[in-house]
Amino acid sequence: MNLLTLLIFIPIFSAAIIVISSANLKWTKIITALASLSIVLITIKLFIDFNVHGSLQFELNIPWIASYGIAYHVGLDGFSLTIMMLVAILLPLTFIFMLDRSTKGMFIAMLLAQGGATGALLSIDMILFYLFWETMLLPIFIMIGLYGITNRQKVALRITLYTIFGSLAMLFAILVLAYHYFNLNGVWSFNLYTLAQFHTQVELPFWIYIAFLSAFLIKIPMFGFHGWLKSAYESAPTPTLIILSGIMAKLGVYTIYRFIFLLFPQEVIDSSIYLIGLGILGMLYFGIAALMQKELRILFAYSSASHMSLIVIGLFTLNIYGISGGVYLITAHALATGGLFLILAIIAEQSETTIMQDHSGIIHQSPWLGVLFTLFALSIVGIPGSSGFVAELLIIMGSFHYNMSVGFLTTTTVLIAMTFTLWMLQRMVFGPISTTTQKMTHISIKDGLALSLLAFIIYFMGVMPDIFISYFEPALDTSLSNFGARS
Amino acid sequence: MSSLFLAAPLIIVGLGAIGLMLLSAFKPMPSSKLNLITLGILFLALLFELPLINDSFSHILFKDASSDIFNGMLISDSFSSLFTLLFTAGTILTLAISHRYLVANTFIINEFFSLILFALFGMILLAMSYELVTAFIALETASLAIYILIGIDKKNAISNEALFKYLLIGSFAGTFFLLGTLFIYLQIGSTNLGVISTYINTHPMHKSQLIIVGGSLIMITIMFKVGAFLFHTWVLDVYDGACMPVTMYISATFKIAIFSIALRIFLVDFSAYIEFFQPALEALAFLTLIGGSLLALSQHSIKRMLAASSIVHSGYLLIALASFDKDQIIAGSAIIFYLIAYFLSSVGALGLLSYISVDRQKTLTYESFKGFSTRYPILALAMSVFMLSLAGFPSTIGFIGKFYIFTSGIASEHYLLVAVGLFAAFVSIYYYFKLISVMYFYPSDREAKPLTVTLSPTVIVVIAIITIWGGIGTGLVSFLPGADHFIDYASQALESLF
């Protein structure tokens, strides 16, 4: 049985089983736990069986709509393995967090979102990818609308519309691309690698590139495409935020690497300076916006967007340092923000407010929580020893390699991140205990252990990065050599 | 193949209609019993259509070496047999899903069922007609039955208004068809589609002005019946005024019938002159998509929203119709597949509306659906599936339908048209998802009445399952047709036209 198919469909079938059998909450949790455990085990098996020097592995290709060349085609390479590992770590920990807090509907929706995101991660056929990309939106729509907070009904619809606009533009680009292939070869095909090989023979209009890219720019979000960011982070429940910012934003970056780099190499090279410019602008803008926030949730939202812009900068430097740094920061950032959002949820439920001014001295009131908070926040800053440091170092090296001034501007990220993070820490975690903070109690053992495991992984990755980098670096190297040959 | 066997569905439905009419005159029966009798007649007709699915054939009816009774007016080929199958299955599903509605409402008189069969008879005749005047007669037969069906609720002022609106405008539009036939006859001397096709293929366009005029007039009637933009003013009021089963019937099955004659006329005859008609079709598609979307955005009543959205769906079909200049088989198969997908989703949605609104006085608006998911979870899930399919969301049959339509548009390089189509799809996400969000995200303000499992909810759930299966099903399960088999049947049907 194909391991990748299992990874995609185990969560989906678990959700279906829960719905059809009308399971009660206890059985829902048991089924979710079993599903998560099997995902973790399968991911470990993938790691063991993975051939570091191979290209696409664990492939499965079954024709689906044969007359149009659409197939169920899935495959895994170094980059997707890294993100799969992310999914396998982050989601079980989120489920552990949800065990005593969430209703049955949240579990079902999270499982479906996990299945959809995994499907989008592993698809090689473009229509299959489009299917998973769109359907992973539905659970998010339901979660924000049903379980969200401020203004949830309107926000759910608004976010869905914003994202689908990009997806429809992407569909247009996919269809035009496939049609050009059909025109040349007389056969329809939506296989990514088939379409990637022919584009050298045909001049594609530039707007196809922009249309295709727009879906991902909205998802990440890049500056200018970020209108949905604030309302989403204001209204969504915490597990949704973890999947939204931890998995789906990263999927946006991953799919740029997987699809855009393969299909439009020349356009990528030509437009890289603009996208890096957009990334720098976003990084600075979101960083300053984070600095101005009074409320913790939105601060995390903007800090997350700022780092996503940094990842995109790393990606578009088009050299091995930048892209490796981008991949590494994806992992580091997802884990760290996952931890931060979980902590935010704990603070919110214990003291009913997340306004920074109200809190002070968390570390004295709830030491374990305070330590974890500090560790995660410092990893965001990029303190040496954390995986964030390794990632940001690589990205900065990559951007210097690309261009001196770009490199100089990129280093400001450390400064900006340091400003809002350290200020937040100083105000909330340290100092005398405020009245609001006094309402907080010690963190529960279960939550504490889960978060400590997360922190351990983050710092382990920071101290011994080579174990992880060696998994994706050879694949990146080969794909970049394709680039180098063209530029 | 014997002509009697090929014409059996037509004969069965015709005799059934007359029989039901006599039955309702001499022996009044409760609607539930009559519904089952009608379904029985339809299943009998279906039995004669199913064996013909995979064959490719073309046979003028009742013509052999010695005699030609109907003078080549009727033809039975794969195209007509596919459409006959679609009409019969469509009527079966419509009647089955409306069972509770028909039983509960007293204005459903016994003649209702014979009228449905008369309309079906007209539609099958339309699919089988090989001659323009026959097509007109068939069209008018079906339309007359539908006019009466629209106004069947005599005491309701809105129904009466809808009846007269459609009667007056519809008859007026129907006469354009006759005038067009007249002009074509003037030039060619025959109204037989085969003779017209030979003439058109042998004469250049600049010598056939009368044919062009005639074709344009026929196109006006078709566009009117389909609800394209400039001819759409009747759609909202008529769909709203008719009772639910009739709205289902005209929005889905009747639309398929109009497209059957439109496809036959365009493909068999006017394909040589397509450069004249194509810009008009393109412009109509533009206007329909944009105008329909604007209309649908501003509706509060769900039924009117579905009516306005049916204008938008006609717009998508017009995109494919405007793509006929490049590849006809791709565009034609896309139209047929999309009609099937639209039929399933539309009948499902309207059927669900009819099931929960047994009392006609209450207009169902978005507000009435607040908290629907807490009252009826399974029905809410089915409604969400139908909304997703109408919006063209992936993993439903509606997405595959839109995929085929947009691909055929791109394959004939009408990029701007497809872009407008995609934009209309984006706008439609708003008004379809609004219903889903209202159902799930708001608390319920009334009690849930218990759900008895009868014919109607079962059919609703079955159609919802078919909608999902059509979107993701594959040929891996060999005995069930997968997502790509329907398109193969459609292509085969179209090829039998030539």
Contact between chains at B440 and A145 (C-beta distance less than 8 A): yes
Instruction: Please determine, for residue B476, whether its predicted confidence score (pLDDT) is greater than 80.
Output: no
A165 min Cα distance to partner chain B (Å) = 6
Chain B contact for A9 (CB, 8 A cutoff): no
Q: Which residues on A lie below 8 Å from B434 (Cβ)?
A: 157
Tokens of A39: 């995902």
**A-B interface: how many C-beta pairs under 8 angstroms?**
83
Give the model's pLDDT for residue B221: 93
Q: Which of A64, A145, A172 sits opposite B474 (nearest CB)?
A: A64
Give the model's pLDDT for residue B430: 93
Give the model's pLDDT for residue B114: 93
Chain B contact for A141 (CB, 8 A cutoff): yes
Residue B317 contacts residue B405 (beta carbons within 8 Å): yes
Give the model's pLDDT for residue A486: 41
Instruction: Please determine, for residue B306, whether its predicted confidence score (pLDDT) is greater than 90.
Output: yes
| Environment class of B269 (CB within 10 Å of its CB; exposed 0-12, middle 13-18, buried 19+) | buried
Chain B contact for A362 (CB, 8 A cutoff): no
Across residues B106-111, what is the average pLDDT?
Answer: 86
A336 min Cα distance to partner chain B (Å) = 31
Q: Say which residues have a Cβ less than 8 Å from residue B165's Cβ, sequence separation at least 6.
A: B234, B237, B238, B241
Give the model's pLDDT for residue B28: 86
pLDDT along chain A (487 residues), means of 10: 87 90 86 92 89 80 82 88 90 89 89 93 91 91 89 89 92 90 85 79 80 89 89 89 90 89 85 90 91 89 91 89 89 91 89 82 86 90 86 90 88 85 87 82 87 90 85 79 57
d(CA B18, CA B24) in angstroms, rounded, equals 10
Give the model's pLDDT for residue A482: 67
Place of tokens 């290709």: A61
Q: Which residues on B lie below 8 Å from A127 (Cβ)?
A: 403
Q: Which residues on A lie below 8 Å from B406 (Cβ)?
A: 171-172, 175
Across residues B149-162, what is the average pLDDT?
Answer: 90
Neighbours of B122 (CB within 10 A): 25
Q: Which of A142, A157, A174, A202 to mutate to probe the B interface, most B CBs <10 Å? A: A157
With cut-offs at 50, 70 and 90, classify the pLDDT of residue B141. very high
- What mean pLDDT, rounded, does chain B reach? 87
Tokens of B370: 């607040």
Give the model's pLDDT for residue A487: 39
With cut-offs at 50, 70 and 90, classify the pLDDT of residue B95. very high
Instruction: Please determine, for residue B477, whether its predicted confidence score (pLDDT) is greater than 60.
Output: no
Residue type, A71: A
Instruction: Please determine, for residue B117, whether its predicted confidence score (pLDDT) is greater than 90.
Output: yes
Q: Which of B395, B422, B433 sits opposite A160 (nearest CB)?
A: B433
C-alpha distances (whole Å) from B268 to each of B193, B262, B273 are: 7, 10, 11
Contact between chains at B395 and A131 (C-beta distance less than 8 A): yes
Q: Which of B393, B429, B437, B438 to mutate to probe the A interface, most A CBs <10 Å? A: B437
Tokens of A70: 């659409």
Residue B379 contacts residue B349 (beta carbons within 8 Å): no
d(CA A409, CA A413) in angstroms, rounded, equals 8
Residue B251 contacts residue B349 (beta carbons within 8 Å): no
> What confidence tens digit (pLDDT) does each residue in A215-253 have?
899 988 889 888 889 888 988 988 899 998 889 999 999
Q: Which of B441, B485, B492 to mutate to probe the A interface, most A CBs <10 Å? A: B441
Give the model's pLDDT for residue B205: 80
Across residues B434-460, what is the average pLDDT?
Answer: 83
Q: Which of A64, A145, A182 sits opposite B437 (nearest CB)?
A: A145
Instruction: Please determine, for residue B264, whether its predicted confidence score (pLDDT) is greater than 50.
Output: yes
Chain B contact for A65 (CB, 8 A cutoff): yes
Tokens of A189: 């095909």
Q: Which residues of B touch A (CB under 8 A)?
A: 388, 393-395, 399-400, 403, 406-407, 410-411, 415, 418-419, 422-423, 425-426, 429-430, 433-434, 436-437, 440-442, 472, 474-476, 483-484, 487-488
Indicate the range of A210-219, A335-344, B67-76, B437-446 predicted with least confidence: B67-76
d(CA A165, CA A167) in angstroms, rounded, equals 5
Residue type, A339: G
The angle formed by the CA atoms of residues A433, A360 and A307, to the nearest 5 degrees, is 155
Give the model's pLDDT for residue A201: 65
Give the model's pLDDT for residue B350: 92
Instruction: Please determine, for residue B112, whether its predicted confidence score (pLDDT) is greater than 60.
Output: yes
Contact between chains at B395 and A171 (C-beta distance less than 8 A): no
> What confidence tens digit (pLDDT) does each residue in B413-430 have?
889 999 999 999 999 999
Across residues B251-266, what is the average pLDDT?
Answer: 91
B426 min Cα distance to partner chain A (Å) = 6
Residue B72 contacts residue B192 (beta carbons within 8 Å): yes
Indicate the range of A28-32, A204-208, B123-127, B177-181 predicted with least confidence: A204-208
Contact between chains at A67 and B488 (C-beta distance less than 8 A): yes
Residue type, B128: M
Q: Which of A63, A131, A145 sits opposite B441 (nearest CB)?
A: A145
C-alpha distances (whole Å) from A235 to each of A147, A152, A399, B137 are: 9, 6, 35, 59
A347 min Cα distance to partner chain B (Å) = 26
Give the model's pLDDT for residue A437: 81
Chain B: residue nearest A149 by CA?
Answer: B441
Q: Say which residues have a Cβ less than 8 Å from residue A171's Cβ, sequence separation at least 6.
A: A130, B406, B422
User: Running DSSP on this structure, what letter comes out for residue A125?
Assistant: B
Neighbours of B81 (CB within 10 A): 24
Q: Say which residues have a Cβ less than 8 Å from residue A419's Cβ, sequence separation at least 6.
A: A287, A291
Across residues B342-349, what is the average pLDDT?
Answer: 92
The closest of A324, A287, A349, A355 to A465, measured between CA atoms, is A324
Give the model's pLDDT for residue A485: 46
A75 min Cα distance to partner chain B (Å) = 20
Instruction: Please determine, for residue B450, whether its predicted confidence score (pLDDT) is greater than 80.
Output: no
A145 min Cα distance to partner chain B (Å) = 5
Backbone angles phi, psi at A189, to 5 degrees: -155, 140
Residue type, B325: D
Give the model's pLDDT for residue B65: 65
Q: Which of B410, B437, B472 sits opposite A179 (nearest CB)?
A: B410
d(CA A377, CA A458) in angstroms, rounded, equals 11
A13 min Cα distance to partner chain B (Å) = 15
d(CA A305, CA B318) in angstroms, rounded, equals 42
Residue A103 contacts residue A351 (beta carbons within 8 Å): no
Across residues B25-33, what is the average pLDDT?
Answer: 87
Place of tokens 């109200």: A358
**Residues forming beta bridges with residue A355, ordered by sequence position:** A295
SS3 B75: strand
Contact between chains at B400 and A176 (C-beta distance less than 8 A): no
Give the model's pLDDT for residue A131: 92
The angle formed by the CA atoms of residues B238, B242 and B245, to the nearest 5 degrees, is 130
With cut-offs at 50, 70 and 90, classify the pLDDT of residue B113. very high
Q: Cα dihedral sign for A361, A365, A370, A371?
A: positive
Tokens of B303: 């039924």
The closest of B328, B213, B217 to B266, measured between CA atoms, is B328
Chain B contact for A78 (CB, 8 A cutoff): no
Across residues B54-78, what is the average pLDDT?
Answer: 77
d(CA A123, CA A128) in angstroms, rounded, equals 6
Indicate the range of A460-474, B167-181, B378-392 predicted with least confidence: A460-474
With cut-offs at 50, 70 and 90, classify the pLDDT of residue B313. very high
